[in-house]
Amino acid sequence: MRILVVGAGAIGGYFGGRLLQAGRDVTFLVRPKRASELASAGLVIKSPNGDVTLTSPPTVQADKLDKTFDLVLLSCKAFDLEDAIKSFAPAVGPTTAILPLLNGMKHLDVLEQHFGANAVLGGQCAIAVTLNAQREIVQLTPMQSLGFGERDGKMSDRVRSIADVMAAGKFGAAASTQVIQDMWEKWVFLASLAASTSTMRAAVGPILAAPGGRDFILGILDECSAVATAEGHAPAGPFSERAKGMLTAEGSQLTASMFRDIKAGAKVEADHVIGDLIARGDAAKVPVPRLKIAYTHLKAYENGRG
């Protein structure tokens, strides 16, 4: 199976790198600067699950992309989605499967408009990774998983084939017959964590220790869960218990990548992660006052960046 990984940043570089390490046929679609970095230093992964340096990983740039692939692994930020689509479009043939690992749900509609419903799988991952100053991929905790499947819930031959290939990466890949539900549950947790830690500019533990902190976090979780329920994807009991446990763990240093992006002065996915939830809540007449405060905070931050 020929796999094109769009980008070689933290997420794409990690999962693509693990597949390349396992001997799979992986090519990274990258910009010139990243291509130069990979050619000189290799793709470096530092991880509690094992370090690796992959010398001269296969790369291609958008203007040289002239053949199709069996699988496109897409892990860009939501605000880069349109540019990413333009770059990898030549790689999409009649039987190509696109596996997006973006946050939220809005990107599914965008990809479907460009490539048709059949080309687009559902997908989500759980991993804490970042690029350090040396442009190495650093995994912050041992946790790692990648779920994917047909959006209609069927277990297709192509999903089975992808599962066989992904298993070699040893990063907890699993095919799912309820991938849209999985994506909604991840969105509920991610949005709750992002809205809380970004608005309060602190990790979960310090927020809980502040007056009203616990109520704020759990109020955000309740609002996100109510929107998911209105959309027909009520979070399941086991998920709700896990999410509540992680968001109320005293002393926890857990933060969202969105908060870390704010600290770095980087762009954030305010519209895709929080704004889209608010829009869906308003359409379903679900009150989301805390989410709206968080969204105002994030848009003010974006405006301050210029």
Number of helical H runs and strand E runs in the chain? 12, 10
Neighbours of 77 (CB within 10 A): 19
Q: Is 46 among the catalytic positions?
A: no
* φ, ψ of residue 134 in degrees (nearest 5): -90, 5
Structure tokens at 292: 């709206």
Cβ contacts of residue 166 below 8 Å, gap of 6+? 19, 146, 148, 173
* φ, ψ of residue 148 in degrees (nearest 5): -160, 160
Instruction: Report d(CA 71, CA 137) in Å as an integer.
Output: 22
Neighbours of 86 (CB within 10 A): 11
3-class DSSP state for residue 251?
A: coil
Angle formed at CA 243 by CA 238 and CA 244, multiple of 5 degrees? 100
Show contacts of 49-54: CB within 8 Å, 24+ apart: 49/139, 49/142, 49/144, 49/170, 49/171, 52/17, 52/21, 54/17, 54/20, 54/21
Which of 33, 77, 186, 244 is an active site residue? 186
Instruction: Report d(CA 41, CA 33) in Å as an integer.
Output: 12
Instruction: Report d(CA 286, CA 277) in Å as an integer.
Output: 10
Angle formed at CA 121 by CA 196 and CA 155, multiple of 5 degrees? 115
Structure tokens at 61: 């740039």
**Catalytic positions, written as ranges:** 186
